[in-house]
C-alpha cells in the first residue's frame, strides 16, 4: 500500500490526471503479486511499485546459491526526486562481467522525446552498457572490498528519500551481502567504488552531488510517508539493517 501511495503521489505532483478505474485495477493486480521485483525495473510503472524490493536486492538473495555466478547491484539515491542511479555488474563464464548503468532524473517533460509513440518515455531510465574484462572485473571486486561491502555497518539506519546515500547488494560464493553508506559519515567518505562506476558510465548524465539534507525533511521523515506541501513532494524513509532492508519508517 505504501508503494501505491508513493506512485499516486508522484503522478499527482507531475500533473497526471487522477487515476481511472482501469489503472486502479492494474495497480491492484501488481499489489497481489506482492510488489516483488521480477526483473522489470526498466518499466516506469514498476519502478515505484517494486522499488523497495529492488533496493533490497531480493531477486539477488533468492538466486544466491553456491553455483551462481557473482553479481552486484549498487544504487545511488541522489535525493529521490532529483536523481537515482543504478549499477548492475553480472559475472560471465569468461571471468569478465556485464556492466549496466541506469540513471533516472527529474521528469524529462521538456526534454527531447526519444520515442513520440512512447507516452512513458519521460519516466524511463537512461541506460548504458559495457563489458568488463577479467582484469577490470577483478579490480571492481577489489574496490568493493576496499569500500567495506563485506564489513557490517553496525546500527540500523533510517535513510530519507531526500538524502544522498549508496545501497549495495550482491552474491559471491553463494553468500548474499547487503550494505549501505550515508553521505556525511566517515564510511561514505571512504568509498572507493563511485569513481570506478562513473568511469564506466556512458549515460552522459552527471552525478547529482551530495549535500546536507533539509532540516524540514528530517521532521517529515519521522513518519513512513509524509507530504511536504511547500514543495509538493513526498518524503519517505527506508530502514536498513545488517540483514538488509528492514522496511519503511523509523518505528518499523
Above 70 in pLDDT, residue 31?
Answer: no
**Integer angstrom CA distances of residue 68 from 5, 44, 95, 181:** 36, 29, 13, 26
For residue 12, tell me if it sits in a domain: no
For residue 138, tell me if it sits in a domain: yes
Q: What is the mean pLDDT of residues 38-42?
A: 73
For residue 54, tell me if it sits in a domain: no
For residue 162, tell me if it sits in a domain: yes
**Integer angstrom CA distances of residue 92 from 131, 137, 199, 219:** 10, 10, 20, 46
Total structural domains in the chain?
A: 1
Q: What is the mean pLDDT of residues 14-31?
A: 39
For residue 240, tell me if it sits in a domain: yes
For residue 231, tell me if it sits in a domain: yes
Long-range contacts (CB closer than 8 Å, 24 or more residues apart) made by 135-143: 136/96, 136/97, 137/89, 137/91, 137/95, 137/96, 137/97, 138/95, 139/196, 140/89, 140/97, 140/193, 140/196, 141/70, 141/172, 143/192, 143/193, 143/196
Q: What is the mean pLDDT of residues 123-142?
A: 94
For residue 207, tell me if it sits in a domain: yes
Selection from 6-15, 172-181, 239-248 with the highest mean pLDDT: 172-181
Query: What digits encode the pLDDT tens for the residues 97-106?
Result: 999 999 998 7
For residue 18, tell me if it sits in a domain: no
Angle at 191 between CA 138 and CA 235, to 5 degrees: 125
Higher pLDDT, 8 or 73: 73
**Structural domain that includes position 237:** 64-248
In this prediction, residue 51 has a pLDDT band, given cuts at 50, 70 and 90, of confident
| pLDDT at residue 121, as a whole number | 53
- Tell me the pTM: 0.78
Query: What digits encode the pLDDT tens for the residues 144-194?
Result: 999 999 998 877 888 998 999 999 999 999 999 999 999 999 999 999 999
Amino acid at each position: 500500500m505504501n508503494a501505491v501511495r508513493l506512485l499516486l503521489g508522484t503522478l499527482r505532483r507531475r500533473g497526471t490526471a487522477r487515476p481511472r478505474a482501469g489503472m486502479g485495477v492494474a495497480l491492484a493486480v501488481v499489489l497481489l503479486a506482492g510488489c516483488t521485483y521480477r526483473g522489470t525495473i526498466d518499466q516506469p510503472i514498476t519502478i515505484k511499485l517494486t522499488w523497495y524490493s529492488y533496493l533490497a536486492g531480493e531477486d539477488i538473495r533468492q538466486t544466491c546459491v553456491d553455483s551462481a555466478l557473482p553479481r552486484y547491484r549498487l544504487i545511488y539515491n541522489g535525493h529521490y526526486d532529483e536523481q537515482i542511479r543504478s549499477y548492475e555488474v553480472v559475472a560471465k563464464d569468461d571471468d569478465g562481467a556485464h556492466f549496466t548503468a541506469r540513471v533516472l532524473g527529474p521528469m524529462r517533460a521538456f526534454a527531447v522525446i526519444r520515442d513520440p509513440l512512447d507516452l512513458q518515455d519521460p519516466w524511463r531510465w537512461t541506460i548504458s552498457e559495457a563489458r568488463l574484462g577479467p582484469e577490470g572485473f577483478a579490480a571492481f571486486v577489489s574496490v568493493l572490498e576496499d569500500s567495506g561491502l563485506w564489513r557490517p555497518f553496525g546500527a540500523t539506519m533510517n535513510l530519507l528519500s531526500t538524502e544522498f546515500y549508496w545501497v549495495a547488494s550482491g552474491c559471491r560464493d553463494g553468500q548474499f551481502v547487503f550494505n549501505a553508506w550515508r553521505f556525511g559519515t566517515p564510511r561514505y567518505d571512504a568509498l572507493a567504488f563511485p569513481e570506478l562506476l562513473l568511469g564506466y558510465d556512458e549515460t552522459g548524465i552527471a552525478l547529482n552531488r551530495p549535500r546536507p539534507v533539509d532540516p524540514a525533511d528530517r521532521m517529515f521523515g519521522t513518519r513512513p510517508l509524509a507530504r511536504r506541501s511547500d514543495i509538493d513532494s513526498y518524503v519517505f524513509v527506508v530502514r536498513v539493517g545488517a540483514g538488509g532492508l528492514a522496511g519503511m519508517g523509523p518505528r518499523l
